[in-house]
Structure 1
């Protein structure tokens, strides 16, 4: 019925929706849609709540051809672990692109966001990482550290993973989980400099506000995906990295100018006035070149887009209907 709303829980989503290369493909299509300029995607609504050490983001986008558009609310309350609660949660709503009626509410606690965020890193690896990656490195030890490596492994079958985190015990557990998940050796790096020196693909996944990777550490045959900076004030990369990279790519330039590593580079004067970064979607549709030689140094600045949310929400809705899970709620009953 037109007024039926499908309510889907995190547990139900996890039972049928798992990360695989198809999720990378799904998000690649979202980037292609962004490049073709048909997508309607307003700026992120972002709110800091300093008294609670918290932030809340709201993202949305309309993609022509998809049945619905998502509105995603993503809170991060970073003191929650002190009281036994997760720091990240949230939900997604899927509304009909024809009528505006709510089709589904995903009480996913950020699970769909985790999948689509990892897949963006997978797409970045697909188009920007060297063809031969022997060692991949990840900075950070949370959910995204594990998922980003899994997404990148779908694109480049590296032979070893290095993990660095502020807490050695967390780093070791993350390395163990990665090794069990993708089946290649994973170990803790002594420091970030060592990790970068040995790796050909590096992913940073932290909420850091102090730079973790220095420009002096860059070397030929290196790709970095930085996905932790999604709020003003955050930044994982030395701003001079933008100036030293052969190719600097954004998921959405207008967002990265305000929230991402590009913002830090502009503020530091490391980005030439008038220079426009390449967007990942333009590389996907062959409008711009990606990596052209193995020796290049490439960087991808990911802030997360509403288009990714709409793509994963439509996919989750199709999976729910196909597999008959979720609970129908009569909105007018």
Structure 2
């Protein structure tokens, strides 16, 4: 018996889905579901291809009560710009949770991943950052740096933004772009230390394998969201900072142990605080995050399959006739 399959391109997805409070709420609900039990989320399938300077991640999750589940394939081939091609691409496949039949094919080239990743940063800021943020900072100058600051601004509308990156020209362009987009003061700074010490909310968005933020830079009221460490060996935060923080929160502990900031702390042999809390547990009130204004909080985002299932299910439900409908 034939059934309909929805096929939606990146251009169409960009027209119908944006980074707004609705998508933030969708991702927040996914984290809450992850902490509530019943979610089936296997470990990330990660394939490193050093000969091609590439990597491929496959993520998925089943969430009870959701009509579908997504499988997301996310390649990153970092020599592509030399060929005039983007570094990142990929797609999401949405299956029926009742029959296993394909419902939608989102040829998003990573767009939905970008949106759900930035939305997760907003969820972290909403639950862990100070209620009032005057100055925010981002380390990194790429697409996710911009999106993370847009997302953070939705829940913590800061007045000033600092940008730091290895390439000073790119940092200046990023600051100018975000200043125009958000209508706030933004400037590039040469020092990561200056950025951290001057900010109440900091997001790191790099593929660094060396810590960019040192423990001695932490100060009362600071919140850091680290989202660049999504592969084994990556690290943006000094492991000592995890120990010094009043609350260190993972998106998923099992992932952070092998591909997040926790991996480096465990490898250094300094983590002795037991199992960290997860963001979903903080959202539903099972665990505590920030308890006092002077607390230092760190959230480690490695990217979870529930985010992919949540965003894909949301798009299919809200825009069932988008794209091309084929019979299979």
**TM-score in terms of structure 2 length:** 0.98
- The C-alpha deviation readout for 1:256-287, integer Å capped at 9, x for no partner, is 00000001111112210x61101000000011
**Aligned partner of residue 26 in structure 1, secondary structure:** helix
More deviation, 100-109/288-297: 288-297
- Given that 1:242 and 1:270 are in contact with CA atoms closer than 8 Å, whether structure 2 keeps it comes out as no
- Given that 2:168 and 2:190 are in contact with CA atoms closer than 8 Å, whether structure 1 keeps it comes out as no
Tell me the residue number matched to 1:319: 318
Tell me the residue number matched to 2:276: 277
- The C-alpha deviation readout for 1:283-317, integer Å capped at 9, x for no partner, is 00011112111100000000000000000000111
Tell me the residue number matched to 1:291: 290
Alignment of 1:149-228 (within 5 A): 149-228=149-228
Alignment of 1:244-283 (within 5 A): 244-272=244-272, 275-283=274-282
CA distance in 2, matches of 1:161, 1:65: 40
Question: 5+ unaligned residues in a row in structure 2: which ranges?
Answer: none
- Given that 1:16 and 1:319 are in contact with CA atoms closer than 8 Å, whether structure 2 keeps it comes out as no
- Given that 2:138 and 2:205 are in contact with CA atoms closer than 8 Å, whether structure 1 keeps it comes out as yes
**Aligned partner of residue 319 in structure 2, secondary structure:** helix
Tell me the residue number matched to 2:308: 309
- The C-alpha deviation readout for 1:90-136, integer Å capped at 9, x for no partner, is 00000000000000000000000001000110000000001121000
**Aligned partner of residue 206 in structure 2, secondary structure:** coil
Q: C-alpha displacement at 1:319, in angstroms? A: 2.8
After the TM superposition, which segments of 4 or more aligned residues of structure 1 sit over 4 Å from their partners? Answer: none
CA distance in 2, matches of 1:209, 1:94: 33
Question: 5+ unaligned residues in a row in structure 1: which ranges?
Answer: none
Tell me the residue number matched to 2:119: 119
- Given that 1:53 and 1:79 are in contact with CA atoms closer than 8 Å, whether structure 2 keeps it comes out as yes
CA distance in 2, matches of 1:245, 1:130: 15
**Aligned partner of residue 38 in structure 1, secondary structure:** coil
